[in-house]
Chains A and B, each alone.
Chain A
Amino acid sequence: MTAILIIAPLVLAALAIMLVGEEHFKTVKYIAFGASIVTLLFAILLYQTPPGIETYSWFSIAGLSFNITTSTETLNMLLMMLVSVMTPLIFLYSMGYLETPSEQRRFYFEMCLFAASMLLFSISAGFISLFIAWEMLGVTSYLLIGFWYKREHAATAARKAITTILIGDIAMLVAIVLIGVHYHSFDFATLMSQYQNTSFLYLPLLLILIAAFTKSAQFPFHEWLSDAMEGPTPVSAFLHSSTMVKAGVFLIMVLFPLYSQTGLLPVILIVGIISAAIGASNALASRHIKKILAYSTIEDLALMFIGIGLGALYATILLFFVQSFYKALLFMGSGAIMKANEDEEDIFKTYNSSKNRKLYVALLFGVLSIAGVFPFSGFFGKALLGSAASSNLPVYIMLVIIELAGGIYIFRWLFIPLRNMNEKEETVYINYNSIPPTMIAPMYILAILILLASFSYIYFPTFLLPIVKNVQQITWPEVLFVNGTAIVGLLVANYVYRQGHRFYMASKHKNLFNALNNSAIINRAYVAIAAAFMYTARAISRFDSGVDKFTYSFSEAFIESGHSIKGLVNGQVNTYLLAFIAGFIILVIAFAL
């Protein structure tokens, strides 16, 4: 079975879309959707065949062979199935979401290539094909984030994304060249089998880690992901669930044996904890309906990195798997809410989300899953991670705090759009009936998948047998804890945003605060926790903008030096002659010394 053919339907669809005329804009979505269904069928077919590694020789020089290596082994299969399940759902959602005729061709063309490059990434078992896919992912995501390039924010967001990703690309390419020259092979298998020389591998692995952090939006490379919300919502749903941001985590999971050998796991753990704190606190503070989810993705990915850092590969893989479904669902939901509220992005200006019952029920699935309520699949991911961390007390405490924040912000995200519109406030035209069924249907499929994914807890130990040696069990205290944090989050959010959503007033006016008939002491503790989160969130967001300014001035410096070079080339032939002679003299002096 030629695994590499999995990218063929989507690539052919992209070519077909490019070739059809502008007047056939209505057919392109069906072409893309059809191709994604064919891809899914092919993926299922591949799943049936026994796993194996295939190598195609591309070219070789001076003893270095450049091979395209594909693998259909466990982890590759997992990601490939995820992507090929998600692609049709996203395309289905896009049918309802994207209406402008002139944008159809470009959107589906870029989306098809994006999905194809992620599929290529998922089956790569060597650095050559991996790098091709990695670059294609970067380029296509740049195009998609900047899809509405006429909006200033979209253009800057796309630039920010590509700049961050390019840092990762540089690191990646250096690592690949180093590894290739040292091992005379670019295959993961060769690398795994001869890693005795760990001192050499330290640098390349560190570089790969940096590359993974840029793709997976970890500290200090996390800023681009929240800005990437300027892209169309289907892109966000795709980007945050199974593609792009998962690439970094996936790569580290594949190379996990090497990382545990070289002792780089603590680095991963620390970066994971910092990123999780940043993600959770920003999600609490943000007012942008999609950015809350984006920060939550940063936190999710950080949890996966924490899992890797703890050496708990099994928990990480499970979290990796279940996260895709609920995050895709939540993004689709946010797109639907925005569509009903005249594309309003400020969460405090969206109202009445319960008017569309179908939408609301679907959202509940996603929210309960991300909060970690049993029996939704998110619970298993979080509980397993918690069980793995329970031996490491400081990490565990951090994890509990982060999960608590996670509970609060996700219910906050759910509750704020639920409010009824205040007559006195500006009247917004709200129309929940305008949400087409093609946007709701994929959400329900995802809701079912969320429930089905719960069975992965039973099924995964046998599925992952070849790569995971020690399978953790969820401990009973952990069950209580994860559900407990979810309930606490629910209560806090309910208290703050539903019963008295004038939260700031409540903290100022003690009397009103006491009048609320909740247990005062616990409430005060909740408020203190929430306020502490708010405070750190603001502090971190201030720090974030500092990081932002730094990168900005860095790029300014680049541009400046460009201008001064322009001044040097002034069109005077005697200047050039002078430079000519001076260059020669400098070289002579340099060699004489």
Chain B
Amino acid sequence: MPDTTSLLSYVVPLCATLLIIVGMAGMLHKNRRLQFVSTTALLAVIGMVSLYMFLNGLSAIIMDSLAVYQFSMFFVLLFSTALILVNLLSYGHSNDYLSFSMLMGFVAAGMFTVAMAYSLIAILLGIELMSLPTAFMILINGKHHVEAAMKLFVLAAISIAMIAFAIALIFPYSPSLLLTSNLVNSGMKGGYLIVLSMLLFVSGLSFDASLFPFNLWIPDVYQGAPGNITALLAGVNKKVAFVALFEVLFVVMLPYSPQFSVLFEILAVVTMFFGNMAALVQENVKRLFAYSAISQAGYIAIGFAAASQYGSEASIYQIAAHTFMIIGAFAVVLWLEEKNIKDLKDYNGLATSNGFAAFTLTIFMLSMIGIPPLMGFIGKFLLFTSAISAGEIILVVIAIVNSFISVYYYGKVIFAMYAKRPREQMSMDWTVATVAIICMLFVLLLGAYPQPFINAASIAAGSLSVL
């Protein structure tokens, strides 16, 4: 990669650092609105700079640990957009917005570090920086969230330990910890330790990426955490883990692609079945979406099973699609939860009390099912065609069967919402409405006219392969 270090490439790390500082400053001046405006502005700057660098194809390496190239800029842009949405949601609905904002500074810095990682240490640090503050975020919203926070904390610690061990295992094979350094298969036989290291990486990252069986904490924590944190967990944290998987598997472990292809075939199948089957019998809507998010992770894993550039393009598209679908869905669910509407039976007749909420939720769910021409359909279609190209017919059949199983539980919610029940009107506050509208626009527009976005995804995937 050509080293065309310009001042601009330092903007993202600088702004991420500033985000932490601004977050801490917020604890001193205690002005919620100022805090909101300044964090949003910083995130917007990061987003715009990354968009500029993405469009102009700038590339640079910063201190041998972070890299600016199209893949990283694509995800910095995606994560900053998603964080702006979550920030807005939390501004309206967090009990202690200032603490949230401080912790979000750390989380955001961790996310951008993972997205821009150029060495394995950066990935480890980024994941750590992201996971631990999230547990505290759950905690600041009230004592009754202690259990969820505790679970997240303990399991995150284990997953980080696994990643650290994975890095230690490949160290003997690698002259440095840079992503691009070729693994030299000398000394030990058959590179078995590299495969073991790969398994450790995948297990550790599957914790956040919510692949079975490393995802059993997900439903509890998603349900137990306040809605804005759930949106952050499902919408962004999970995607960061997938980005880390991309960087490890498609760059470092690329010679071992037959192995990780098999691995992800297994993970995709069990995750999809686990998520969809369990979602069938859920009564709590938030928990239902938690399981649905798990099954969606299974679909994203199909792109890894394809282990081709097309597969990674498809996965990148689906990652972005699911980010918008799930943040929008959890925004509406969060608002309803505050009105004490939690279970499926409470959703009866939602359309009469707030037609907008029912409509947006329906759009998000149709997209998750994969109804054309929404974003979820295109993502799934790309994933399926990529897997067929890689010869994974059975995997695709299983995935399609799964996506039709999902019709039942999404359909249950849709039907409940549009059942005729006389109910009093409820008005939605502007933060939830804005988040829902923005997410819905993304889902509709990028579904109806996906070409630019698909091009962006393929540029990102292409730049990853030449890193």
Residue positions of A touching B, CB distance < 8 A: 58-62, 64, 66, 102, 128, 131-132, 135, 139, 149, 162, 166, 169-170, 173-174, 177-178, 180-181, 558-559, 561-563, 565-566, 568-569, 571, 573, 575-577, 579-580, 582-584, 587-588, 590-591
Contact = CB atoms under 8 A, between A and B. Distances in A.
Given A559-B281, A584-B199, A579 B216 contact: yes
Given A149-B415, A181-B385, 16 more contacts: A60-B454, A131-B372, A170-B401, A181-B388, A562-B281, A566-B278, A569-B219, A571-B147, A573-B155, A579-B216, A580-B214, A583-B213, A583-B214, A587-B203, A587-B266, A591-B259
Contact of A562 (B220, B277, B451): B277
B195 interface: yes
Contacts of B407: 162, 166
Contacts of A174: 393, 396-397, 400
A588 B197 CA distance: 10
Interface in B332-386: 371-373, 378, 381-382, 384-386
Contacts of B213: 579-580, 582-583
B325 interface: no
Contact of A61 (B202, B279, B313): B313
Given A565-B274, A583-B203, A177 B212 contact: no
A64 B155 contact: no
A170 B372 contact: no
Contacts of B67: none
Residue of A58, A61, A139 with highest tally of chain B CB at under 10 A: A61
B203 A580 contact: yes
B259 A170 contact: no
Nearest to B223: A571
B155 A577 contact: yes
Kindly state the interface size class of chain B when it binds its partner. 35 or more
Interface in B7-21: none
Interface string B158-198: 10001000000000000000000000000000000001100
A584 B162 contact: yes
Nearest to B276: A562
Contacts of A60: 451, 454
Contacts of B397: 170, 174
B199 A588 contact: yes
A558 B407 CA distance: 14
A131 B309 CA distance: 26
Contacts of A590: 266
A565 to B, nearest CB: 4
Interface of B: 147, 150-151, 154-155, 158, 162, 195-196, 199-200, 202-203, 207, 212-214, 216-217, 219-220, 259, 263, 266, 274, 277-282, 309-310, 313, 371-373, 378, 381-382, 384-386, 388-389, 393, 396-397, 400-401, 404-405, 407, 411, 415, 419-420, 449-451, 454, 458
Nearest to A62: B310
Contacts, number: 130
Contacts of A584: 162, 199-200, 203, 214
Given A588-B199, A591-B259, A173 B278 contact: no
A583 B449 CA distance: 40
B150 A173 contact: no
20 contacts: A59-B451, A62-B313, A64-B385, A102-B420, A131-B372, A149-B419, A166-B404, A166-B407, A558-B280, A565-B281, A569-B278, A571-B147, A573-B151, A577-B158, A579-B216, A580-B158, A583-B212, A584-B199, A584-B203, A588-B199
Nearest to B317: A61
A173 B216 contact: no
Contact of B278 (A102, A181, A565): A565
A479 to B, nearest CB: 48
A131 B400 CA distance: 14
Contacts of B220: 569, 571
A66 B420 CA distance: 39
Q: Which 9 residue pairs spanning A and B have beta carbons closest together?
A: A583-B213, A562-B281, A59-B451, A576-B216, A565-B278, A562-B280, A181-B388, A584-B203, A62-B310
A58 B381 CA distance: 13
Contacts of A563: 281
B310 A61 contact: yes
A177 B396 contact: yes
A565 B151 CA distance: 19
Contacts of A178: 388, 393
Contacts of B373: 58, 132
A568 B372 contact: no
A221 to B, nearest CB: 15
B417 to A, nearest CB: 13
